[in-house]
Structure 1
Amino acid sequence: MSPHCCPPGRPGDPTAVSPSTPPPEGNGQGDRDSAIPLPGGTFLMGSEDADTNPGDGEGPVRDVAVGPFAIDAHCVTNQRFTAFVEATGYRTEAERFGWSYVFATFLSGEPRRVSPRPKSTPWWCGVQGAYWAAPEGPGSDLSGRSDHPVVHVSWTDANAFCHWEGSRLPTEAEWEYAARGGLEGKRFPWGDELTPGGEHRCNIWQGRFPSHNTTEDGYAGTAPVTAYRPNGYGLHNVAGNVWEWCADWWTTAPSRAEGPRANPTGPGNGTTRVLRGGSYLCHDSYCNRYRVAARTSNTPDSSSGNTGFRVAWNTTPGA
């Protein structure tokens, strides 16, 4: 399987200093209305199924324990990110670099003709002026998308939001524990069948990638953060819609690099950060990374139109 649907990395030295400013200070009183307290516990993390992606480090399946924490029922929305920007004046890395990756199908005219494309993934265009509030570049806006996940945010941007709000990014182990919703060893947050009873449960590519999307699941791009029914813990869209940043540095050898399997936090350093959940561009014909154990990574300064995040907290609301 190749990483066709996965967001491309920003070119350049991933260890170089990005043009970001220090995270803005906040009052730690962020919006916890949609936070879900979870008791934690031991679960089977990873997959060794035949449909795993070689080289992704999904296996081995192992017992992992996580402590109690709270996690958002859905990704951070455009409306919520707008409040952050208005309160702090924060400028995302896409704004500072001056561009971000947009899926070519969403473009027309000059932006589609002149925007540079990675050779390995030419369906992505590096669009000048694309950022979270102009997802398809100049002339686009967030009309009708206030309840959609914010996109074109880097790991650094997501971390800055958390610093201001008083939340944090979930660890990869916490993310998978929560995404499984109490089910053990299943391919998806709802079971093993992609469309049980013919019902679409997630926002992924329908048709032939990258030329034709039938949108049978209802959406060509992002969907509202509460679209589709939640999993057993009440989390929405942990499969498809947008990739979600996790706190961890990337490793493909978790049993050797992460140390004890109790509250693992990944290696101490690296060049890329973990992404989970897949996106609206995933399809099982080439990249079935919308499975609950699937994973990928990108450099902390990278951004694209299919990358967002959800937040977690160390304690339950009110504790």
Structure 2
Amino acid sequence: MKLVSLAFALPWLVACSGKPAELDPYGEVLVQVDTNLRVPHAVSRVRLDLFDAERRWLESRDFSTPEPSDFPLSFSIYEAASGGPRTAYLRARGYTDDHVRDYRGERFEERVAFEAPTTKASLEAACSDAPVLALGELRTLRLRGEAFPEGGLSCTASAGDFDKRTSSGLAVFRLPIEDAGRYRVSVATSSPGVEWAPVADTLLSLRTVCADAQSELACNDDEQSGQGALSGLSRTLEPGDYFVLIGNVAPGPMDVGVFVQQRDAFSNVPTDDPVELAREEPRLIVAGVDQTPQLEPEPYLAVDRLARIDVEPGVQRTAQLLLEGECLGTMADLQGLRSCLSEEGVLSAVEAEPLAAGRARDRESVSAVGTWAKYEHPGCAEATTPTTPGLYDERVCVTGGAFLLGDATLIERGADGGYPERLAVIPSLFVDRYEYTVGRYRDARARGFEPPDGGPFNNFERIALDAADLTRACSYSELLDGSPQFPEQEDFPLSCVSWLTARALCELDGGRLPTVAEREYVASAAGRDFETAYPWGERKPACNESLFGRWYEPSHGSTDCAEEASGPAPVDAEPWASFDVTPEGVVGLGGSLAEWTADSHRAYSDPCFESQPHFSPRCDEAEAPLRTIAGGSWRSPAAGTRAASRTGGAVAGIDPWVGFRCVYEVPEP
């Protein structure tokens, strides 16, 4: 059975085999692969892999499809053997050029609904249902660190601190040992471009009694015992049950892998890494030579379609496959023979594709490129809304669309990083043209607004005590309100506002905080044919183009532009307002103040994000202690002004460099 691109004429190939040009007794199915996604924005390549009925890998082809006119892509599957019909499985994946990963075997991952993890009430509760960690088994998990435990984390001093750590990232495993010997427990983290790397901010403990600190046999505090590419600890063990406890010191979540391996009794050298020993099946073996491709499409950003094609000798048929936009990010199950057909996240059993009689390659084919229904969004009746004089409360209509959420080039890891990227579809929205101002807050107070958390504005530690301090303190304070030496700063963005208060202020005006996806869409894609790295385009800003790098103290922020003027500025201050602006007219998404969003602060690989649909993805955990702060501020380096830049902050936290803006639903026509 062969897969043949129609870049080569099939009769020529047949003629080269010494057969006549006609196909009898050959059987052929002409396959036409189309997509309703945009080309090349969402699909610029098509990967084709052919398997037999037992899922043995027969052939692999990869085609560049940078133009919409490249679709539908046509090729033939033919069978030279006589006899009854033969079954083949064709896997077609549409993806973009730079979104690939190393091939390490079939790593099927099924999307599941997200359920917020329950925090164990105590260490005893965590120990009571500890899962088994088998020898040589790689277990991946997410340490969901939320807060620093008190008193530090040296192994001896904090052995009992695991009680406190059950709410700050704790994992417990039971480790059964059958043979006496020396064993190594390793923990590592995965990151883009690096399969496994040493883990900082972890505590690894090996015990004989799970909840008893006095039974501790070995402990690795943070990364002090890191060896080679991994962090871990080694110990000679007798047969019996042991417990491995892993804690996360950092306040944010961390993705880690943990495994145990036995060391050679004579050489005292660890056995091969279980990650590398994993069976990378299936393999493409041709004439005894391994021709397995080194790379494969990144599942998060590929449309993955598995189809059954029945080829009957002497019969010519045509099959049509659509790489459906709804299925982007839903991985096909090769071994289980399941594939997404038309509904996001839903896998259906692979059945024989309907085949039309004859070969259709000579007929005109109209492509479906760009016709995905979710590309269509109703606009707004008006492009902007009126502004109240002095409040800077004008709203801009941003037409919805699809874009790639995240940025894999960001060097930050975990929840601050932009990996993995994924397609997100954003509806049309009204967005505040400027960040929420001091004047708007004063107006809200006049209308009876009371901050839900009491407000941060009467804290002497956060306000200026003389006029010279104004540039590095909160932009509003009631303690000094009305004092002649302190200007009211009505046109300054409101800073030192908690997430709770920001949310309440948006709701007061009939809006809400934007999601991470909505804000990044406005900053990187809205009103543009292609996404840009910064709200204004691809170029890194200069000091007179965006309000960043104006911190006066090198140890706490960027001083790249401090000589210009320290601190924030009015929301419409020039020259920055004329450069740090999107094509839709939204100002200050790069610098000025970083901005609160609605989402919990999680990595894009976290189940809270992974389980979200394409349309309006949102990771919103009711009790999440950290929320995402997006974009740069007047204290950020230039890299912080990138559209995908983000970090996390406590919901009740306040900072002079953090503010917000609101979004509003577009009324139904």
TM-score for the superposition, normalised by structure 2: 0.36
Output the CA distance in 1 between the equivalents of 2:531 and 2:475: 37
Q: 1:247: which partner in 2?
A: 598
Query: More deviation in 31-40 or 53-62?
Result: 31-40
Q: 2:632: which partner in 1?
A: 278
Q: 1:209: which partner in 2?
A: 554
In the TM superposition, residue 34 of structure 1 has moved relative to its aligned partner by: 1.3
Output the CA distance in 2 between the equivalents of 1:238 and 1:64: 19
The answer to whether structure 1 residue 222 and structure 2 residue 581 are counterparts is no
Secondary structure at the aligned position of 2:648 is classed as strand
Pairing partner for 2:495 from 147, 151, 155: 151
Could you tell me whether the CA contact under 8 Å between 2:475 and 2:489 is conserved in 1? no
Tell me which of the two structures has the higher relative contact order, counting C-alpha pairs closer than 8 angstroms and 6 or more residues apart: 1
Residues 90 and 236 (structure 1), Cα distance of their counterparts in 2 relative to 1, 3 Å cut:
same
In the TM superposition, residue 62 of structure 1 has moved relative to its aligned partner by: 1.8
- Structure 1 segments unaligned to the other structure (5+ residues): 1-8, 16-28, 112-123
Q: 1:238: which partner in 2?
A: 589
Output the CA distance in 2 between the equivalents of 1:34 and 1:156: 23
Output the CA distance in 1 between the equivalents of 2:647 and 2:452: 22
Could you tell me whether the CA contact under 8 Å between 2:407 and 2:421 is conserved in 1? yes
Output the CA distance in 2 between the equivalents of 1:279 and 1:140: 28
Q: 1:178: which partner in 2?
A: 522
Q: Percent identity?
A: 23
Secondary structure at the aligned position of 1:88 is classed as coil
Q: 1:161: which partner in 2?
A: 505
The answer to whether structure 1 residue 189 and structure 2 residue 549 are counterparts is no
In the TM superposition, residue 177 of structure 1 has moved relative to its aligned partner by: 0.7
Secondary structure at the aligned position of 1:145 is classed as coil
In the TM superposition, residue 250 of structure 1 has moved relative to its aligned partner by: 1.6
> For residues 98-149 of structure 1, what are the alpha-carbon distances to aligned partners after superposition, in whole Å with 9 as ceiling and x for unaligned?
638749xx778xx9xxxxxxxxxxxx9xx9xx68326999979861621110
Residues 54 and 107 (structure 1), Cα distance of their counterparts in 2 relative to 1, 3 Å cut:
farther
In the TM superposition, residue 240 of structure 1 has moved relative to its aligned partner by: 1.4
Q: CA RMSD in A?
A: 3.9
- Structure 2 segments unaligned to the other structure (5+ residues): 1-146, 151-163, 168-385
Secondary structure at the aligned position of 2:404 is classed as strand
Could you tell me whether the CA contact under 8 Å between 1:153 and 1:303 is conserved in 2? yes
Output the CA distance in 1 between the equivalents of 2:496 and 2:606: 32
Could you tell me whether the CA contact under 8 Å between 1:274 and 1:295 is conserved in 2? yes
Could you tell me whether the CA contact under 8 Å between 1:43 and 1:177 is conserved in 2? yes
Residues 254 and 162 (structure 1), Cα distance of their counterparts in 2 relative to 1, 3 Å cut:
farther
Q: Which amino acid aligns with 2:617?
A: P
Could you tell me whether the CA contact under 8 Å between 1:244 and 1:309 is conserved in 2? yes
Secondary structure at the aligned position of 1:156 is classed as helix
Output the CA distance in 2 between the equivalents of 1:83 and 1:163: 15
In the TM superposition, residue 38 of structure 1 has moved relative to its aligned partner by: 1.6
Secondary structure at the aligned position of 1:289 is classed as helix
Pairing partner for 2:618 from 253, 265, 274: 265
- Name whichever structure is richer in strand by fraction: 2
- For the pair shown, the structure with the greater C-alpha radius of gyration is 2
In the TM superposition, residue 53 of structure 1 has moved relative to its aligned partner by: 1.2
Alignment of 1:39-58 (within 5 A): 39-49=399-409, 51-55=410-414, 56-58=416-418
The answer to whether structure 1 residue 290 and structure 2 residue 641 are counterparts is yes
Q: Which amino acid aligns with 1:54?
A: R
Q: Which amino acid aligns with 1:279?
A: S
Number of positions where the alignment pairs a residue of Structure 1 with one of Structure 2: 270
Could you tell me whether the CA contact under 8 Å between 2:502 and 2:660 is conserved in 1? yes
Could you tell me whether the CA contact under 8 Å between 1:243 and 1:307 is conserved in 2? yes
Output the CA distance in 2 between the equivalents of 1:176 and 1:156: 21
Residues 214 and 298 (structure 1), Cα distance of their counterparts in 2 relative to 1, 3 Å cut:
closer
